[in-house]
Amino acid sequence: MKLPLSKIENLKNIYSQQLNNQYSLREIDNIFFELLLYIKHWKKVDYLLHKNKILEAKEITFMKRALQNLKKNIPVQHIIGHVVFNDLIIKVNSNVLIPRPETEELVEIIKNNNLKNSPPSILDVGTGSGCIILSLKKIFSKAICSGLDISQDAINIAIENAQINSLSIDFICVDIKKYEINEKSLDIIVSNPPYIPQSNKLKMHKNVLDNDPHLALFVEDSDPLKHYKIIAEFGKYYLKEKGQIYFEIHEDFANDIVNLLLEKDYVNCTIYNDFQGKNRFILATRND
């Protein structure tokens, strides 16, 4: 496949033509502009102002390789090697989930609920790339922040992301069922655990299935609340009085998770919608 030294606008049209069987036109536009931001630091407005310009040879080579990889269902975030999440540079690869915009909303909810009283201690369960706890550390700079994950490969990426962003986090490779700390020592527990039932795989985009770690995505159909049960039980012993627990959730299980939390004596359970209007987050408070 040849990508001639042509106008950037023509290159964008090539992307639209060759990726239209895999992505919507809106998705193709977003991918193209992400790549353009990466190689030229251009935003969409810059493209509109300069779309008749010609890319340099090395930029053409990069865009050619990127198109080949996109056709193999490799996500644009893996091609670039990172995402921008709450103004942090978060390195990603096949060992961690690519942070989603919805999860930025979860961080914003925690921020807004704790602006008056900065939480002294925060634990992120299933931290993956570390994007949530790193964002919270940036907001609550004096908080003692920790992130747990059962994948050492994920923890390695999280540690690297802490270094990239000059933030101090205690990342630990451990199963939460084996994690021991002082009782009633946490102000906030947050988790975006695996919550997609295995049966939903058929509905998912191939680039997610081929590149995101299934360990961080899927849960058995027979026990979709498995991780919420474990984390909620953990929180009963390790959250301080009126400590908060935050979950990102599957929209279909919002009421089930609220009932689970109520059964475990949590109070003030609140469901929050994401920007698409879907049930996506839950807050509950430990009742002592």
Q: Tell me the average confidence (pLDDT) per consecutive run of 10 residues in the chain, 288 residues long.
A: 67 94 92 94 92 89 94 94 96 94 96 93 98 98 97 97 98 96 96 87 74 80 91 96 96 96 96 95 92
For residues 23 and 162, membership in a common domain is answered with no
Take residue 115 and report the two structure tokens written for it.
Answer: 């602006």
Q: Please check whether residue 81 lies inside any domain of the structure.
A: no
Distance CA 255, CA 259 (A): 6
Residue 6: per-residue pLDDT: 67
Report helix, strand or coil for 183.
Answer: coil
Take residue 15 and report the two structure tokens written for it.
Answer: 């992307």
pTM reported for the whole predicted model: 0.91
For residues 101 and 47, membership in a common domain is answered with no
For residues 151 and 276, membership in a common domain is answered with yes
Distance CA 2, CA 14 (A): 10
What does DSSP say about strands 170-173 and 144-149: parallel, antiparallel, or unpaired?
Answer: parallel
For residues 63 and 105, membership in a common domain is answered with no
For residues 183 and 245, membership in a common domain is answered with yes
Distance CA 241, CA 224 (A): 28
Distance CA 100, CA 44 (A): 20
Q: Please check whether residue 3 lies inside any domain of the structure.
A: no
For residues 146 and 257, membership in a common domain is answered with yes
Cα–Cα distances in angstroms (integers) from residue 70 to residues 47, 110, 269, in the given order: 21, 35, 41
Q: What is the CATH number of the domain that holds 259?
A: 3.40.50.150
User: What phi, psi does 36 have (nearest 5°)?
Assistant: -65, -40
